[in-house]
Structure formats: structure tokens, C-alpha cells
């Protein structure tokens, strides 16, 4: 029986099942024993699908205290002897994973977006050179296989078993040298990864990007953007789709004036329906589209809004 540790982030409700799917792809579902380690006791219901859920005693370790979080994971490894450790490639995960890898003296493959079996050996796929190419990495040497997984890339595990054991792990928090000064409330914003409808703009609508908001409201969706729009300062990187942005899986993706570089299309996973509006019918993104509209994207917005209003 293989053993796998999965670190969980509590403000990512869909992520636990995505990480569980990764564990099932690495090992056979029936032959892997999964241990989930959430940050605190307020876990999402989707996190309750691991064989064991471990709670650090008191659960008073703040998210910024990555040193103690890594220490807990290392102590769990001493006890269980994990074959694999999976960490989300979030801001939190990117801080914890290197610390844990150093403690365990193992290699770390960061920002994994794919897994393949090549000649009987697991190959972890990750972007390299700002997404211009993809590297396949295999594990060599001793110690557990360790990786961070980009959110939204893998589908949620299907038909998982309910957690069979909740375990309180005794842990005395050590001084980390970090002093909490204060905090402030961050304005709540919707994440484009949660939207079922995305109206996405590229260089073809650079000067008219604000028009996308009208269409997104009419279709009850959200606006997203290509890297060119973001690099031009027109939109925030929070709504960027692509290898250097976010990976999205909406039911409907309307690409307005988007050329469709490899980096952008790598951010589209399991999109049910894709409509491409472009003056160039040979643009790469048109090859992925269910419907290709050859023409001006701004005119398309006007005509579609009129149709919806009727």
C-alpha cells in the first residue's frame, strides 16, 4: 500500500478533490493510503475524502508561519514514511513546499500541470521558460516523490470515499522569528476559475476591453484576459488566463480577438464550449473552437447584446 500526504488549503473548496485525483493518478486508487493535512479545523466538506485527516493540536498555527507547517509535515513523514507528498501551487503552498523539501532532503517539482507514464516511469510535466516549452521530469534517488500542483488543471476525483479517521496530532509550536504586526481586510473578488461563463479578450479588443463587461453581465459570467491585455496594463493579472495566469474550465469560453499562443491555450482545461471571434480564421485558438466567427470582435459584442436584449 502506497502512502501519500496531501497539504490542504482551507480557502480553496475544490482543490482537495483535485489533489486527491493527482494521488489516484500516481498510484492506483485502491492501493494508495491518503493523509490530508489542513491548516485549521475549518476545513471544507470536500476535504473530508482522505483516509486520515490530521489536525495539529490546537490548530492555532497561522498560515504565514510556514516554518511550523513544514515541521508538522516533516514529523508526519517520520511516522508514516510517505511515498508521495502533494502540495497546492498556491501562494501558501509555494512557501511551504521548499521548506519541507529542504527538511526531507528531497527534490521538488514545482507547478506541475500534467502527469504521464513513460516506459513505466512517472513523468511530471511543468512549464519552463515562461511557458514557452514544457519539461518532463522524472524522480531519481531516495525519498518521497514531492510536487506542487497548479489549481484548476486536474479534474476533481470522482466517487471518493468518506474520511474514515480524524486524528489530532500533538504539536508544540516552535518560535519561528516571525512577528504578527497587523492585518487588513482584502476586498472580496470573484475568482475567474469559479465562473461557468468567461468572456475573454485579447489584443484584438485592446482599445475596447471595457466593452467585455457589458457582455459578461448579460451572460451572467466574468471577464478574463490574455497576457497581452495584462502586460498592456489594461487588466489585472488576477483575471489572466494562460500558463503565466490561471487555468480555467468554464462551460462557455468566448475568446474575443485572442490569437491563441501555446501559453494561453495551456490555461484552458476541460472547456465544454469555446467560441472564437477573430478577423484571422487561421489563428491557433480557432482550431480549438466549437464555433468560429470571422469578423470584428467589437461588432460581435454589439450584435450579440442586441440579440440577448430582444
Q: Using alpha carbons, select from 260, 237, 263, 241 the residue that is nearest to residue 250.
A: 241
As a whole number, mean pLDDT of residues 250-277 equals: 93
Given this model, what pLDDT does residue 42 score? 54
Q: Can you read off the three cell numbers belonging to residue 216? A: 459578461
Greatest extent of the chain over all pairs of C-alpha atoms, in Å: 65
pTM: 0.73
Does 10 score more than 70 pLDDT?
no
CA distances 244 to 37, 200, 283, 289, Å, are 28, 16, 20, 22
* Averaged pLDDT of the chain: 87
Residues 98, 262: Cα–Cα separation, whole Å: 28
Does 15 score more than 70 pLDDT?
yes
Given this model, what pLDDT does residue 232 score? 92
- pLDDT tens-digit series, residues 161-182: 777 788 777 777 777 677 778 7
Burial of 275 (0-12, 13-18, 19+ CB in 10 A): middle
Spatial neighbors of 216 by CB under 8 A, at least 6 apart, are 197, 198, 199, 222, 223
As a whole number, mean pLDDT of residues 270-294 equals: 94
As a whole number, mean pLDDT of residues 290-302 equals: 95
As a whole number, mean pLDDT of residues 201-222 equals: 94
Beta bridge partners of 136: 125
Given this model, what pLDDT does residue 250 score? 94
Q: Using alpha carbons, select from 133, 162, 141, 139 the residue that is nearest to residue 16.
A: 162
- pLDDT tens-digit series, residues 265-280: 989 988 999 999 999 9
- Residue 58 or residue 125, greater confidence: 125
Does 245 score more than 60 pLDDT?
yes
**3-class DSSP state for residue 239?**
helix
Q: Among 83-87, 104-108, 178-182, 253-257, which is the least confidently predicted range?
A: 178-182
**3-class DSSP state for residue 29?**
helix
Percent of the chain with pLDDT over 70: 90
Given this model, what pLDDT does residue 142 score? 85
Residues 281, 294: Cα–Cα separation, whole Å: 6
Spatial neighbors of 205 by CB under 8 A, at least 6 apart, are 211, 212, 229, 256, 257, 297, 298
Does 66 score more than 70 pLDDT?
yes
Q: Among 26-35, 206-215, 218-227, which is the least confidently predicted range?
A: 26-35
- Residue 130 or residue 30, greater confidence: 30
- pLDDT tens-digit series, residues 33-42: 999 888 655 5
Q: Which domains does the chain have, with CATH numbers?
A: 2-169 (3.40.50.620), 192-309 (3.40.50.1220)
Amino acid at each position: 500500500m502506497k502512502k501519500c500526504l496531501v497539504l490542504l488549503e482551507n480557502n480553496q473548496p475544490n482543490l482537495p478533490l483535485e489533489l486527491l485525483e493527482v494521488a489516484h493518478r500516481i498510484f492506483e486508487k485502491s492501493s494508495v493510503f491518503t493523509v490530508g493535512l489542513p491548516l485549521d479545523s475549518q476545513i471544507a466538506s470536500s476535504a473530508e475524502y482522505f483516509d486520515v485527516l490530521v489536525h495539529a493540536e490546537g490548530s492555532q498555527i497561522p498560515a504565514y508561519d510556514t516554518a511550523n507547517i513544514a515541521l508538522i509535515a516533516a514529523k508526519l513523514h517520520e511516522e508514516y514514511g510517505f511515498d508521495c507528498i502533494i502540495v497546492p501551487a498556491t501562494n501558501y503552498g509555494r512557501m511551504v513546499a521548499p521548506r519541507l523539501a529542504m527538511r526531507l532532503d528531497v527534490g521538488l517539482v514545482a507547478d506541475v500541470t500534467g502527469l504521464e507514464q513513460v516506459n513505466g516511469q512517472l513523468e511530471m510535466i511543468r512549464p519552463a521558460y515562461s511557458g514557452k516549452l514544457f519539461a518532463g521530469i522524472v524522480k531519481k534517488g531516495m525519498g518521497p516523490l514531492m510536487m506542487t500542483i497548479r489549481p484548476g488543471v486536474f479534474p476533481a476525483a470522482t466517487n471518493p470515499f468518506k474520511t474514515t479517521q480524524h486524528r489530532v496530532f500533538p504539536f508544540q509550536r516552535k518560535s519561528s522569528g516571525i512577528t504578527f504586526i497587523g492585518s487588513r481586510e482584502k476586498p472580496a473578488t470573484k475568482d475567474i476559475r469559479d465562473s461557468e461563463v468567461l468572456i475573454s479578450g485579447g489584443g484584438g479588443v485592446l482599445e475596447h476591453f471595457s466593452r467585455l463587461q457589458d457582455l459578461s453581465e448579460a451572460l451572467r459570467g466574468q471577464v478574463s484576459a490574455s497576457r497581452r491585455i495584462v502586460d498592456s496594463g489594461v487588466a489585472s493579472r488576477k483575471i489572466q488566463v494562460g500558463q503565466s495566469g490561471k487555468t480555467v474550465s468554464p462551460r462557455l469560453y468566448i475568446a474575443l480577438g485572442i490569437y491563441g499562443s501555446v501559453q494561453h491555450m495551456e490555461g484552458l482545461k476541460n472547456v465544454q464550449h469555446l467560441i472564437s471571434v477573430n478577423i484571422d480564421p487561421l489563428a491557433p485558438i480557432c482550431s480549438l473552437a466549437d464555433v468560429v466567427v470571422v469578423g470584428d470582435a467589437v461588432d460581435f459584442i454589439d450584435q450579440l447584446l442586441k440579440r440577448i436584449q430582444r
